[in-house]
Amino acid sequence: MAKSKHVKLGEKASMFYDPTTKLKVVPGKAVELSNDNIRSKRVIRAIKSGHLDYADSEDMEDLDVIALEKAPTKKANLKRLKMRRMRMKNRLLRNP
């Protein structure tokens, strides 16, 4: 089984956010990286430039560890979109 990688903020950063993968790292927290996050150009660039650092086992004891939440599935996004359209349609029908 592959060892999961965790990152923490580097010395150069006060916060890090990647909008494409929804990865957010704040001070005092270590965040687990998913496969999408590891392959993200923005995350790779942040690690190389020192904005993010890999967290060691010693660092993990001092930091709060945040596991990644699963992103909404495509099916859930479509259901949400349909509900929004239906609400808009109902509003338009009520107020001619």
For 90, the token pair is 């109902």
Task: Give pLDDT tens digits for 42-57.
Answer: 999 999 999 999 988 8
Angle CA 40–41–45, to nearest 5: 120
Per the confidence metrics, is the pTM higher than 0.85?
no
User: Could you give the residue ranges of the DSSP H alpha helices within the chain?
Assistant: 35-39, 41-49, 57-62, 74-94
Tell which wins on pLDDT, 93 or 48: 48
Structural domain spans, the chain:
6-70
Q: Among 2, 68, 1, which residue's Cα sits nearest to residue 30? A: 68
What are φ and ψ of residue 8, in 5° steps?
-135, 170
